Structure 1
Amino acid sequence: MNIQNAHFIEKNTMIDLEEFLCPEVREKIVKLPKDIKNVMEEIRLRINQPLMIYANDQDYFISKNGELLSEEKGSYRISKKNIENTLQFITNYSIYSVEEEIKRGYITVQGGHRVGIVGKVLYDGSGVKTIKEFTGLNLRISREKIGISSSILSYLINHKKEFMNTLIISPPQCGKTTLLRDIIKNLSDGIPSLGLKGLKVGVVDERSEIGACFQGIPQNNLGIRTDVLDACPKAQGMMMLIRAMSPQVIATDEIGREEDSIAIQEALLAGIKLITTVHGKSLEDVLCKKVIGELVKEGIFERIIVLSNSQGVGTIEKIMDGYTFKDLLKSPMKNKVAN
């Protein structure tokens, strides 16, 4: 089955993102062709290295005149001043106001874009104190695609019109978070065509990737019945939601720790459904993982979705029954999403 032509809405994000770049870099990025901007995933700034972008599954260099280059020769070189000025724009001239985010190695900005940061790490016995002497930035472009999960939702609803516990397995940059977001939105708003009423969804967004909150407000549309705990450890967040927000579904990204498993068991005992993700190339890969592998073997997840980029980012290789591991798809579905 192929859903290459599935209908979805993608918000235009590049104009907002360009405003966070220092003028010297911005004037080059704005000149890029529109078709490249539409698929661009990252803008890379590294001190004394060429300005680069990542798009179409490959790196491009940018010239001093804003032209795309396939080779390093003639590319614009990033200076320390470029890094420092871009950080000033990103933090609204107050780096100290985002110290807690810097500790985690990234800053989420308006529009849901994420800026990764590297430099000298100050560390003590309690963990990372901060990062200083910044040497590189990675502006990861948030591309929310509404409607991208529509063609697979029928696989996730049982004959009682109930959502089934779902696990999404995916290698990096294969669209798992984008798909997760849209499933959350649909569950929260309700799916009349499938007879599913809107559900109260609690999201534990430990790395601020699902809702991409800026000043506490999710920049991505997660639906009208969704509550988000931003930058909260998964295990603690799940317990907080169970005790205070009466969710019918709990959504998280990248389950893996022992305490996560304990919180999942508590949620299931409370009758709460679960949707989460894990890094992996296949079911066999995940079964080898200690925590999540045990949950899969116990039949916790009634549906297992496997993503890849075999036919482009977001290819749905399999949708499996969580008990028999039988593939419910006749063929992989090409689903154009981006992580």
Structure 2
Amino acid sequence: MNTKDELLKILSLKLRTIFGKLKIDFEKLQEIRLRMNAPLLIIYENVEYFITEEAKLVKNPTLAVIVTKNEIRETMEYISNYSLYAFEDEIKQGFITINGGHRIGIAGKTIIEDDVIKGMKHISFINIRLAHQVKGCADPVLPYLINEKTDGIYHTLIISPPRCGKTTLLRDIIRQLSDGNTYLSGKSIGVVDERSEIGACYMGTPQNELGIRTDILDCCPKAKGMMMLIRSMSPQIIAVDEIGSKEDLEAIDYVIGCGCKLIATVHGSSIEDIKSKPVLSELVQKKLFERYVLLSNVNGIGHLDEIYDTVGRKLYADHA
């Protein structure tokens, strides 16, 4: 089933009709934002658009169709197959992963007991993030990450602003390293997929291809997951998305101390930006990472800007 068909299945009947008429390449559609009593909005090729009743893309929000409470309710019914209870554990974390690997972020009134989120009701905001695999997007990066002397890789940190392709790049790096390629033999990889974005597991099955030697801990906190994988799955490489907490730093120390290689991503615009953040600056100062890969959307989503080594020597630069 293609992306458009997967999407139409989960939208309310009214929205389904509008998106069915929309003349866009659905493989380039990134997000759909449904907010109760607010204009229908999408992110398409990294640009924000509103959608009219006639299924036209516009920049003026006053021309857009208004999302109603009924559209939200009906869409959630289709997303959950009329059983939100079945997704109770995921709802506690604020998202649901559906067939195809698409992630549905939700917001509303949280139910809290003893400072623990038990659930959510009165869901009024939905963010549909479309999953896209871009096989081969890691091809320009991989030669810089391979340590040919050890048939292994360097500890790598991918730095990128939001919506610039860092998770997509990480996913393809994992797939290629797991399967093996012309640079090195296939490696056993452990993935901590805290928000179900890397593997996009649906009912335990990854919807994205992460390679034949990859094990995934889905919806698991990164720090705890890294420890668990080291102890239980004996990975040669661990991959995680969006590090940043002190707990992450402690787990990273543990992973590297065990001789396991690490690939991680972080929000940022430069190494200097990372240095300005208390926890992340410690990672740079301790020289834990041996490669820094910087992405942007200068020339399209996932544009490879620069690659540096652990001492700040520039290995690659392209400011096209």
Tell me the TM-score normalized by structure 2.
0.95
CA shift in 2, pair 1:75/1:295, >3 Å: closer
Query: How far off its partner does 1:14 sit?
Result: 2.2
In the other structure, the counterpart of 1:51 is: 40
Contact 2:46 2:163 in 1 (8 A): no
Aligned-pair CA distance for 1:274: 0.4
Q: Give, in whole Å, the separation in 2 of the partners of 1:247 and 1:211.
A: 17
Matched, 1:299 2:287: yes
- C-alpha separation in 1, matches of 2:280 and 2:62: 46
Indicate the residue corresponding to 1:155 in structure 2: 144
Q: What SS does the aligned partner of 1:294 have?
A: helix
Deviations 1:146-183 (A, max 9, x none): 11101211000123132111001111111100000000
Structure 1 residue corresponding to 2:133, chosen from 140, 144, 162? 144
| Pairs aligned (count) | 319
Counterpart secondary structure, 1:150: coil
Deviation at 1:187? 0.6
1:259-287 Cα shifts (integer Å, max 9, x gaps):
22222222222211000011111101111
Q: Select 1:257's aligned residue among 242, 245, 264.
A: 245
| 1:23-38 equivalent positions in 2, closer than 5 A | 23-35=13-25, 37-38=26-27
Residue 129 of structure 1 aligns to which amino acid in structure 2?
A: K
In 1, the alpha carbon distance for the partners of 2:272 and 2:172 equals 26
Matches of 1:73 and 1:292 in 2, distance apart? 42
Q: Could you say which structure has the higher strand fraction?
A: 2
Name which of structure 1's ranges 16-25 and 258-267 shifts more when overlaid on structure 2: 258-267
Once residues 54 and 317 of structure 2 are traced to their aligned partners in structure 1, the CA distance between those partners, rounded to angstroms, is 49
Q: Determine which of 306, 312, 316 is the counterpart of 1:329.
A: 316
- 2:157 corresponds in structure 1 to 167
**Which structure's relative contact order is higher, taking Cα pairs within 8 Å and 6+ residues apart?**
1
Q: Which string of whole-angstrom CA distances, capped at 9 and with x for unpartnered residues, describes residues 65-100 of structure 1?
A: 323233234432211111111101000110111112
Q: 1:186 aligns with which of 164, 176, 182?
A: 176
Of 80, 89, 96, the residue aligned with 2:69 is 80
Matching residue of 1:290: 278
Give the % identical residues: 49
Which deviates more, 216-225 or 39-48? 39-48
Query: TM-score by structure 1 length?
Result: 0.90
The one-letter amino acid paired with 2:305 is E
Map residues 1-339 of structure 1 onto 2, 5 A cutoff.
Answer: 12-35=2-25, 37-160=26-149, 161-191=151-181, 193-194=182-183, 196-322=184-310, 324-332=311-319
1:59 deviates by 2.4
Q: CA deviation at 1:12?
A: 4.3
Structure 2 contact 164–302 (Cα < 8 Å) conserved: yes
Structure 1 segments (4+ residues) deviating >6 Å: none
Q: Give the CA deviation at 1:317.
A: 1.4
- The separation in 2 between residues aligned to 1:319 and 1:262, in whole angstroms, is 25
What stretches of structure 1 of length at least 5 have no aligned partner?
1-10, 335-339
Q: Could you tell me which residue of structure 2 aligns to residue 337 of structure 1?
A: none
